[in-house]
Amino acid sequence: MEEELRTLQENHLYRRIKVIESPQKSHVRYQGRDMLMLASNSYLDLCDEECIKTYVADVLREYGTGSGGSRLTTGTTVLHTKLEERLAQFKGREAAVVFNTGFAANSGIIPALCKKGDIIYSDEKNHASIIDGCRQSAAETVIYRHNDMEDLEKKIQEHPPKSGLIVSDGVFSMDGDIVNLPVLVKLADTYGLLSMIDEAHATGVIGDSGRGCEEYFHMEGKTDILMGTLSKAIGAEGGYVCGPRVLTEYLKNKARSYIFSTSPAPVTMAAAERALKLIEEEPWRVRRLQENTRWFCEKLKEHGISASSESAIVPIRIGDEEKAVRVSERLMEFGYFIPAIRYPTVKKGEAMLRAALMATHTKEELAAAAYAVSSAMNSCGL
């Protein structure tokens, strides 16, 4: 272990935990200082939202802290089913099922759906939880080039026709780019495969009202399986799957991570449900987030830094791991929280800063942040 940790240190791949001393919001306290948070997945800044906290405090008083069992035994309260109903309605589906986390959802859904003799086509940049889901499945997994639909079709044609799944992130978690959903769905339909999209970074972020990839492409109802998380823009915890009722009933009976794990606490479910309601009632939050992305990319470009994104994630490419860490440390000194992303999260030599925007960042804050990024990069010889 010591040797392995030393190797990580030598390669600038050693991870240290940063301990935050305040709620997760656009400004956080870190090592006693106020920092502008530009790395959080809490894109709509709902973790510390007053109206949600007030509601959840009542739920806490009434329902307490834990759920005492798995969803199939004692762990389903009215708050769990209410959230599932709202999720299904939000995503325009017949039904939804909530898992403990997005990670648990992916690692439960994929092995439950894909058996020995089936085939899974998976994007090379899919999230680790999809990769683990594929590894836990007895089906064959075929990796296609990132968001490359020609490569996907070629790989499908190279394999004998089988039942199975095409699975992709909707918004890719490190690069912030969006899946080519129209072609992916067409290929799935043409070749008799199921389509599954992971909306972790899409829900609450893309589409006019934040409903995700289908809304973004104006192709509502076309994907077979929509999964996502409640831990990012929704500001709570948990994973979910939306689809036809036969799918959700099947998963409740077959997905091991659903069956063999204690269900999330009622307060967590209440927080997620109230957040979804807020997103529907106050669409300006999603619009502000989308405006912020455009603004921040423009400001970076004014400083000669190439940046583009239609999600809340703006990658700033560095390459070298050591330099990425130094730029990030410099930004920390300036009061900006933007950690470096390194191998194994991205490929070796492709280290980057992953800026993540919030609906509540002001234009002034983002303009100043873009300037700080440029100064930090300059001071590291970039």
User: What residues from 141 to 180 belong to the interface with ligand PLP (CB under 6 A)?
Assistant: 169, 173
The residue among 191 and 240 lying less far from ligand PLP, judged by its C-beta, is 240
Q: Is 201 a catalytic residue?
A: yes
Close Cβ partners of 74 (under 8 Å, ≥ 6 residues apart): 67, 68
* Distance, CA of 24 to CA of 37 (rounded, Å): 8
Residue corresponding to tokens 């959802």? 105
The residue among 101 and 147 lying less far from ligand PLP, judged by its C-beta, is 101
Candidates 3-11, 60-68, 197-205, 326-334; binding stretch for ligand PLP (CB under 6 A): 197-205
**Shortest spacing between CB 205 and ligand PLP, in angstroms:** 11
Q: Is 259 buried (19+), middle (13-18) or exposed (0-12) by CB count in 10 A? A: middle
Q: Is 232 a catalytic residue?
A: yes
Candidate list 67, 173, 195, 231, residue with the active-site label: 173
Does 201 interact with ligand PLP (rule: CB under 6 A)? yes
Candidate list 91, 201, 222, 299, residue with the active-site label: 201
State the number of binding residues for ligand PLP (CB under 6 A).
Answer: 14
Does 127 interact with ligand PLP (rule: CB under 6 A)? yes
Close Cβ partners of 322 (under 8 Å, ≥ 6 residues apart): 12
User: What residues from 302 to 321 belong to the interface with ligand PLP (CB under 6 A)?
Assistant: none
**Shortest spacing between CB 176 and ligand PLP, in angstroms:** 11
User: 303: how many CB neighbours lie within 10 A of its CB?
Assistant: 15
The residue among 75 and 170 lying less far from ligand PLP, judged by its C-beta, is 170
Structure tokens at 199: 């909306």
Candidate list 232, 257, 299, 309, residue with the active-site label: 232
**Shortest spacing between CB 342 and ligand PLP, in angstroms:** 17
Chain position whose Cβ is nearest to ligand PLP: 102
Does 257 interact with ligand PLP (rule: CB under 6 A)? no
Q: What are the angstrom distances between the C-alpha of 244 and each of 114, 183, 224? A: 17, 22, 8
Does 239 interact with ligand PLP (rule: CB under 6 A)? yes
Q: Is 80 a catalytic residue?
A: no
154 phi and psi, to 5 degrees? -60, -45
The residue among 103 and 216 lying less far from ligand PLP, judged by its C-beta, is 103
HEC assignment per residue over 122-184: EECCCCHHHHHHHHHCCCEEEEECCCCHHHHHHHHHHCCCCCEEEEEECECCCCCCECCHHHH
Structure tokens at 171: 């918004």
Does 125 interact with ligand PLP (rule: CB under 6 A)? no
Q: Which of 42, 49, 83, 102 binds ligand PLP (CB under 6 A)?
A: 102
Does 103 interact with ligand PLP (rule: CB under 6 A)? yes
The residue among 5 and 128 lying less far from ligand PLP, judged by its C-beta, is 128
Does 263 interact with ligand PLP (rule: CB under 6 A)? no
**Shortest spacing between CB 4 and ligand PLP, in angstroms:** 25
Structure tokens at 164: 């199975």
Question: What are the DSSP calls for 81-135, one per residue?
Answer: HHHHHHHHHHTT-SEEEEESSHHHHHHHHHHHH--TT-EEEEETT--HHHHHHHH
Does 231 interact with ligand PLP (rule: CB under 6 A)? yes
- Asked if 116 contacts 139 with a C-beta cutoff of 8 angstroms, the reply is yes
The residue among 229 and 374 lying less far from ligand PLP, judged by its C-beta, is 229
Does 35 interact with ligand PLP (rule: CB under 6 A)? no
Alpha helices in the chain (DSSP H): 2-10, 50-63, 78-90, 102-113, 128-136, 149-158, 181-190, 213-216, 245-254, 256-259, 266-281, 284-302, 321-334, 363-379
Q: Which residues are catalytic?
A: 173, 201, 232
Positions in the binding site for ligand PLP (CB under 6 A): 101-103, 106, 127, 129, 169, 173, 198, 200-201, 229, 231, 239
